[in-house]
Structure 1
Amino acid sequence: MAKVLLEDIKRRFNNVTAIEEISFEIPDGEFWVLVGPSGCGKSTILRTIAGLETATSGNLFIGDRLVNNIPARARDVAMVFQNYALYPHMTVAENIAFGLKMRKINPKIIQERVVNVARSLSLDHLLDRKPKQLSGGQQQRVALGRAIAREPQVFLLDEPLSNLDAQLRDDTRAELKQLHQQLGITTIYVTHDQVEAMTLADKIVVLSGGRIQQIGEPQAIYARPANQMVATFLGNPPMNILPAIYKNDGFDVNGQLLEIPVFMRENLQLRQGQSVDLGIRPEHISINNDSISTENSGLLVEVKLVEPLGRETLIRVSLPNSSVLLNVQLGGNIRLHPGDRLALQLDLNQLFVFDPKTGERILPHN
């Protein structure tokens, strides 16, 4: 096991910049997740760590060793890809043992590792089967087992669950977390799925456009996103963004005034008439059942879509005469229909203010 350190890593393909000025350090034994939209550079970073890509500039350390010019086979890392890359003519046991045999490990040690790894992944009853006789989840566990058997310093996973169905993905995700707790191998995991990132990671690296947007613990990033991109990417449903204008000690949202609390006014440094983007998460919006009036802390809206999900109901609403839509997360026993008009109450203590030009967070300050 080992720490992983990236110092100002850049990767360019001709005139295209894939990653720019990437720097972070993953402590020994931690599970970090690189997350972001397609094309943000997360897989390029992983492949650079693995030695499958060469950094244009910058330094990469695994443990205390500078590995810039060390080939992939000598970096002591194991990588699991999106496609399982199992050998169809080999059994489960032979697939798990393949990397060890290529390294000419003692056959007795190979046998012990195969048995131990198979047991930890609940594959011990499948050792004589071939990949075509396995389910997708079982094949993925074989691919994991082949990597684990090598006992690498670093474990790299490139969207390993994306080919699984929803239930199997949830089950395998839980198995991965338990496996990491058992093995304690430094793990770097790439995904575009923010649910996987939130549930698996010790820390998340949020990427966009080849640059780091924010690094932190999942709940800390969710509670205090650095900018609008992070705020809308993490969270399901995503954070609502409302264009507004600051005036009269409040925010004008499509002609409706949100009168903001005194404590918030004291921290704002906005000029009258300044445009801002307001952010509020769906779970921080409720229905004002007392009155059709929003009392300057909410908005009048019309229901467009209702999605009952059992213990909760998601609704999509629109502001009058506007294309702006909001997602609202309510209790499961609510009964609403498209066309219903509602007065929504916003929890202004949970309101975010962003600069619409840069996307940076203006409020809260910390």
Structure 2
Amino acid sequence: MEVKIINDRPVKIWTDNVEESAMRQIENLTTLPFLFHHLAIMPDVHAGMGMPIGGVLACNDAVIPNAVGVDIGCGMCAVKTSWKLENITPEVLRKKIMRGIRKRIPLGMDHHKEPQDEAYLPTGHDIDKTVIVKQRHISITKEVGTLGGGNHFIELQKDEEGTLWIMIHSGSRNLGARVGEHYNKIARDLNEKWHSVVKPELRLSFLPRGTKEFEMYWNEMRFCIDFAFCNRRLMMQRIEEVIADALPGIEFEPMINIAHNYAAFEHHYGEDVIVHRKGATLAREGIVGIIPGSQGTASYIVEGLGNPESFCSCSHGAGRVMSRTAAIKTLDMAAEVAQLEAKGIVHAIRCQDDMQEASGAYKDIETVIKNELDLVKIKTRLLPIAVIKG
């Protein structure tokens, strides 16, 4: 970990590989008047909208919608099974399990054709205190239990003992995007009205605690976090059903779940503050988390060490090393496919556009993990068997 002083504010960075655009965003964050204590930057850092992905920002009495992002509640879940990979034939894997998952889980922009039971949606929320959630309440009954596109994935994996695991990366679908965009616009308009010192070109417009706009955003954000969890849980339930049909007698351990795009009230350095994690994972002491690699590389089940310097956080994945556009233009599809097939991985690459999610577009996960061994300890290393992308 390296400490830089930028605009008289400490910035703690767990990598020496920070792209120029991400560093500019880090510099912008240090100008925020409500920044608390220091800024923490995880080893998977890369440029985002306003705030870099892999950033942890603690604030006094302010929330920044763009410091949460538009895929609110996006995160990971994983389940260990009782079966060894050696007992699963390639035919069962491809024709029963992989084909069955694709039939049960809508991918990319697809939704369910029929509404799902409302029992699958979050409970304990007052929908009347929301705007976007209330507007989209019918729509989300068709979105729950769907994967989405971009870097979201379903992956079958094996641990070092050859045991089968299931891993999912997905979020709050279109609901989170609508909430994030709606409240970022409100924050931008209010900041302009107030002649805020936070310049609009920084894309870090904020909502002060104590305002009705803060409370409205907070209510909708919390719903999105819970909806993203419900989304992953329903997908995992249906994947387990597919696998149980293909492998009679298989058992599943309880699901591990953790989010990496959200804001929360937390206590750090003696004060109650609002911590934004944008592409960063909670790593309190004893908390079990998930750090996935890129397509075709290892993923890790980890346990948090509770390091206060990172606000008890760690990376959320490998982190991009090139933009989606650059990856499509420059990566060699044949070479990327050859690497996957040499490992025997059932992959999701079909065309040059798929290069945006190829391993070559991401940082080396082993280096990322090595850089944060003061934040987490490794519990399980997982290797991919088969990948489904949105």
Higher strand share: 1
Which has the bigger relative contact order, CA under 8 A and spacing at least 6?
2
Scaled by the length of structure 1, the TM-score of the pair is 0.25
Where is the helix percentage greater, Structure 1 or Structure 2? 2
